[in-house]
């Protein structure tokens, strides 16, 4: 026989639990209830910053809350990446990032990372893809990649190139490896500084992301010689691919994704995946991407996780092929 005390305690248990369950459910349904912060790994005004701000504005329209862009540049994206990895997993800090470089390349380029690209993040969805562009100054005498290569061979180690990010670095080093070039790398934190040196004649070439270079290609201040991808990109069909330019070892395609700190609630991740795929499918997004030399790249969390694993392996091969010294 059940005693009266045990019966009353058992009967009261569901009633005591209900306020907690209701509160938890309400908290999940209410997200987002305050501003969201979108982290950007480059300075304001950079090509990457333009992309992050576009997606932040589009997300703001869907979620009904302000999406504030926080720029945390430096260390080839590692500062911003670590910040997101260590952020509170409550759904209010997200990473709109060139993840092929920040997460895929980093393990092969750096001796020590303060984050794990796979286990420290929730991989939400891919967004877009692009190929960095081998470029020279608009007034350069070099009209083709072959012209530039002949010049660099003659210059040996007296010529320099500018590197801005992991993708630009590997694209340039693969180009050098293909032709046995001795061109010296000069690292830059900001695109504007590198371009000023290119225009001043201090650099022979640069690999630049299509977004950061779009206005300068349009104005004629930059000349595109080839992409780092093996096949032509749909958004920049007029630029030869690496393979067409004779750079047979290069097929570097950068891709962007949305990342969150590990442990972010599943309902938040699912809502963000749906929202960002809705953004990617929108006509104004397609127009925006085409305008900056990028192709839409929709997907899901599973696809993104698999893609990242393949990218990490590919970058290991790239670094060995180009004989890049680990930083």
Q: Per-residue pLDDT tens for 264-303?
A: 999 999 999 999 999 999 999 999 999 988 999 999 999 9
What is the second-level CATH architecture of the domain 34-130+253-322?
Answer: 3-Layer(aba) Sandwich (3.40)
Given this model, what pLDDT does residue 319 score? 86
Given this model, what pLDDT does residue 17 score? 45
Q: Do domains 34-130+253-322 and 133-236 have the same CATH topology?
A: yes
* Structural domain spans, the chain: 34-130+253-322, 133-236
Given this model, what pLDDT does residue 22 score? 41
Given this model, what pLDDT does residue 49 score? 94
- What CATH number labels 133-236? 3.40.190.10
**One-letter-per-residue 3-state SS of the chain:** CCCHHHHHHHHHHHHHHHHHHHHHHHHHHHCCCCCEEEEECCCCCCHHHHHHHHHHHHHHHHHCCCEEEEECCCHHHHHHHHHHHCCCCCCCEEEEECHHHHHHHHHHHCCCCCCCCCCCEEEEEEEEEECCEEEEECCCCCCCHHHHHHHHHHHHHHCEEEECCHHHHHHHHHHHHHHCCCCEEEECCCHHHHHHHHHCCCCCEEEECHHHHHHHHHHCCEEEEEECCCCCCHHHCCCCCCCCCCCCCCCCCEEEEEEEECCCCHHHHHHHHHHHHHHHHCHHHHHHHHHCCCEECCCCHHHHHHHHHHHHHHHHHHHHHHCCCCC
**Which segments of the chain have a pLDDT < 50?**
1-28
Instruction: Tell me the whole-structure pTM to 2 decimals.
Output: 0.77
């Amino acid at each position: 026989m059940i005693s009266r005390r045990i019966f009353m305690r058992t009967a009261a248990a569901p009633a005591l639990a209900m306020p907690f369950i209701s509160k938890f459910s309400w908290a999940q349904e209410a997200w987002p209830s305050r501003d969201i912060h979108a982290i950007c790994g480059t300075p304001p005004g950079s090509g990457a910053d333009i992309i992050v701000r576009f997606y932040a504005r589009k997300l703001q329209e869907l979620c009904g809350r302000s999406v504030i862009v926080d720029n945390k540049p430096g260390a080839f994206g590692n500062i911003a990446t670590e910040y997101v990895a260590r952020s509170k997993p409550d759904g209010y800090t997200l990473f709109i990032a060139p993840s092929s470089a920040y997460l895929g390349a980093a393990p092969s380029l750096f001796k020590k990372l303060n984050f794990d690209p796979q286990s420290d993040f929730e991989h939400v969805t891919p967004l877009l893809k692009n190929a960095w562009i081998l470029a020279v100054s608009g007034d350069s005498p070099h009209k083709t990649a072959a012209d530039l290569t002949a010049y660099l061979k003659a210059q040996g180690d007296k010529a320099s190139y500018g590197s801005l990010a992991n993708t630009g670095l590997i694209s340039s080093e693969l180009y050098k490896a293909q032709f046995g070039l001795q061109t010296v790398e000069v690292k830059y934190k900001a695109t504007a500084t590198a371009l000023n040196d290119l225009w001043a004649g201090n650099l022979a070439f640069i690999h630049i992301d299509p977004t950061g270079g779009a206005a300068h290609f349009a104005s004629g201040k930059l000349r595109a010689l080839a992409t780092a991808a093996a096949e032509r990109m749909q958004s920049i069909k007029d630029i030869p691919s690496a393979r067409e330019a004779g750079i047979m070892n290069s097929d570097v395609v950068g891709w962007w994704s949305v990342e969150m700190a590990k442990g972010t609630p599943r309902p938040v991740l699912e809502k963000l995946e749906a929202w960002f795929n809705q953004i990617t499918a929108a006509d104004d997004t397609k127009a925006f991407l085409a305008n900056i030399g990028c192709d839409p790249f929709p997907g899901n969390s599973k696809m993104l996780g698999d893609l990242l694993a393949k990218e990490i392996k590919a970058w290991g091969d790239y670094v060995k092929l180009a004989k890049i010294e680990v930083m």
